[in-house]
Structure 1
Amino acid sequence: MTHLVVLGVADKETAERALDIAGDLSQQELLQLEDAAYVFKDDKGKPRVHQTLNTTGVGAAGGALWGTLIGLLFLNPLLGLAVGAASGAVAGRLTDIGINDDLIKQIGGQLDQGRAAVFLLARSATVDRVVEAFRPLNPAVIQTNLSKENEEDLVRELQPS
């Protein structure tokens, strides 16, 4: 089962550091991420979203491959490549996998000016090591899909020592 944890952090730079930490933990196989993102409020108070999973790019790559194969069948691989990449990009753009975009926008709209929220969707985690890595960022738990008891433990564990 995947678990979603949304952490409130001080600003955009802290959110970017959080994603770097998550990437490092993932490389060490301490955190198996499905998706990650952050949202922050810009100077004009508008929520800005940064997602790590680019469905448009993935769709374009897949569409290009299939388009080339189909193009070869009809003796026009360049046309097949172009049409496949375009249709794949559109399909990827319309696909919502991972963290729900509406949830990201909703939480982003509730943030105070300059603050940010980090979204982590993980399959598994070595919880004590992950908490230890994130604690220096002084995050606040905004939302999770953990059990109430596990969420309370997470909130307690993320408190500065």
Structure 2
Amino acid sequence: MSDLIIAAYRSRNAAFVAGERLAALQQAAGTEPEDIVVVTSDATGRVSVNQSIDLASGAPLGGGRWGALIGMMFLDRRKPVEGGVGLASQFLAAGLDSSFLQEVPALLETGGAAVGMRVRLLGAQRVTEALQKQAGTPRILQTRIGAEAEEALYDLQAQIPDRAVQPDDLI
């Protein structure tokens, strides 16, 4: 079991600072790195996914596929429907909470940003406390992922091409 936690900020800078704070929390705790992703929306509403990377190698940290999966949650603004074909419906079929899936894309204001991560070993409470201490008054969403849902999400991740989660110069 794990948790997905997403915190939305009005400014990109606040979200990137929050991402750095979460990375420092992981390092201090000595836990296995989890992918931390910052999703941004520019003035035109274009969504970008910025994954945490190892500065030495340029490779994504802790499973870039989780970051890509979290980023994709911001792309489908349609209501998740049983048996539907959209991204939100695929996440619903995997076992994620319907209300969480509806709230995630609405978090991202034009020009704003959100930081998200899958949490296992750090504990969701430690992560949300660290985010709440962050300047910028984030709006925090959290959902629990059960064992079956986690397995279904791994199946979805297997469909993400390597090019989507690794910089071009590493392939």
2:73 alignment partner in structure 1 = 103
1:116 alignment partner in structure 2 = 113
| Deviation (angstroms), 1:116 | 1.1
CA RMSD of aligned residues (A): 3.3
1:47 alignment partner in structure 2 = 47
| Deviation (angstroms), 1:28 | 0.9
| Deviation (angstroms), 1:20 | 0.7
Q: For 1:3, what is the secondary structure of its paired residue?
A: strand
| Deviation (angstroms), 1:110 | 6.0
Partners of 1:16 and 1:96 lie apart in 2 by 17
Partners of 1:12 and 1:108 lie apart in 2 by 16
Partners of 2:126 and 2:59 lie apart in 1 by 31
Identity over aligned residues, as a percent? 25
Q: Which has the larger radius of gyration?
A: 1
Letter in 1 for 2:16: E
Query: 2:2, 2:145 within 8 Å by CA — same for their partners in 1?
Result: no
| Deviation (angstroms), 1:118 | 0.9
1:23 alignment partner in structure 2 = 23
2:38 alignment partner in structure 1 = 38
Q: For 1:19, what is the secondary structure of its paired residue?
A: helix
Q: Cα 1:46–1:110, aligned 2, differ >3 Å: closer, same or farther?
A: farther
1:145 alignment partner in structure 2 = 144
Partners of 1:46 and 1:24 lie apart in 2 by 29
Q: Which structure features the higher share of strand residues?
A: 1
Q: For 2:20, what is the secondary structure of its paired residue?
A: helix
| Deviation (angstroms), 1:32 | 4.8
With structure 1 as the length reference, what TM-score do the two structures score? 0.54
With structure 2 as the length reference, what TM-score do the two structures score? 0.51
Cα displacement string for residues 65-108 of structure 1 (whole angstroms, at most 9, x for unaligned residues):
xxxxxxxxxxxxxxxxxxxxxxxxxxxxxx97223142243445
1:125 alignment partner in structure 2 = 122
Query: 1:4, 1:122 within 8 Å by CA — same for their partners in 2?
Result: yes
Q: Give 5+ residue unaligned stretches, structure 2.
A: 77-103, 147-171
Letter in 1 for 2:116: F
